[in-house]
């Protein structure tokens, strides 16, 4: 089976790490294991992975600290949090820090593999690798082999993960970029939150989450409140200027 991605598993429980690693190896991924928060942080900062699967509760360095420091060093590093901490506040905190997804223990291995596939598909899409045909963008200049997408006053640089509304380039996280690109491809139209969840986070992400609202709030803080309009009861709309 061809290599599909390099994944770092950070967990202080070797049995869980081995269990996940064997499943990912069988699915064609290349895995590495870090048995502590400090080791996971060191590996993640020194070497870029296609995905990091991160536990939160570890005896040396708390997983949230690891997450924050990894993303400070590598803002585009995809991270899935896998933790026994199930409360909503922890989930929201990790997502606001920049985690791509959050799955609680005990977990379904099939669901974890599905979420891994969703994240790595998104990464491949950003790198410009071949994807299934989609509907032509309405109102946006989106060219399959181009590095720039334009929609109204917004210019998106696919290679650099930056947006420019006329005031200079603004770096975005991977999720922020994907969400803004989805809105740009339907500029002037309301995009339902359900569609954004499906295209940006994957169809199997918890539809009751407010992760879309959190990501939109971050985009507004970076690019201006008036750029993205809330369509009450429907979703969000990129306003063309």
Selected from 1.10.3470.10, 3.40.640.10, 3.40.50.2300, 3.20.20.70, the CATH number assigned to the domain covering 6-126 reads: 3.40.50.2300
Kindly indicate the confidence band of residue 82, based on its pLDDT and cuts at 50, 70 and 90.
Answer: very high
Does residue 117 or residue 180 have the better pLDDT? 180
Q: What is the pTM of this model?
A: 0.61
Confidence at residue 27, expressed as pLDDT on a 0 to 100 scale: 87
Question: For domain 148-238, which architecture applies?
Answer: Orthogonal Bundle (1.10)
Residue 106, pLDDT > 80, answer yes
Average pLDDT over residues 183-209: 77
Confidence at residue 148, expressed as pLDDT on a 0 to 100 scale: 85
Both tokens assigned to 37: 């928060």
Q: In whole angstroms, give the CA distance from residue 76 to residue 161.
A: 8
Crossing angle for the helix pair 211-223 and 88-97, to the nearest 10 degrees? 30
| Ranges of each domain in the chain | 6-126, 148-238
Residue 52, pLDDT > 70, answer yes
Q: Name all contacts of 134-140 with Cβ < 8 Å and 24+ positions apart.
A: 137/184, 137/185, 137/186, 138/185, 138/186, 138/187, 138/188, 138/189, 139/186, 139/187, 139/188, 139/189, 139/240, 140/184, 140/185, 140/186, 140/187
Residue 130, pLDDT > 80, answer no
């Amino acid at each position: 089976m061809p290599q599909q991605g390099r994944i770092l598993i950070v967990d202080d429980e070797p049995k869980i790490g081995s269990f996940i690693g064997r499943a990912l190896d069988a699915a064609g991924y290349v895995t590495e294991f870090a048995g502590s928060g400090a080791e996971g942080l060191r590996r993640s900062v020194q070497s870029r992975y296609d995905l990091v699967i991160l536990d939160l509760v570890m005896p040396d360095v708390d997983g949230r600290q690891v997450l924050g420091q990894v993303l400070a060093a590598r803002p585009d590093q995809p991270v899935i949090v896998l933790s026994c901490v199930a409360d909503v506040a922890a989930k929201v905190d990790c997502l606001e820090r920049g985690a791509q997804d959050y799955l609680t223990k005990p977990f379904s291995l099939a669901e974890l593999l599905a979420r891994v596939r969703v994240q790595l598909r998104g990464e491949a899409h950003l790198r410009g690798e071949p994807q299934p045909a989609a509907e032509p963008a309405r109102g946006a200049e989106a060219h399959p082999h181009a590095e720039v997408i334009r929609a109204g006053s917004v210019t998106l640089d696919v290679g650099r993960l930056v947006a420019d509304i006329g005031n200079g380039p603004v770096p975005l996280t991977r999720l922020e970029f994907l969400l803004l690109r989805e809105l740009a491809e339907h500029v002037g139209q309301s995009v339902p939150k359900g569609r954004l969840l499906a295209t940006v986070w994957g169809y199997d992400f918890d539809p009751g989450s407010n992760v879309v609202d959190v990501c939109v709030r971050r985009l507004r803080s970076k690019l201006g409140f008036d750029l993205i309009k809330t369509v009450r009861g429907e979703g969000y709309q990129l306003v063309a200027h």
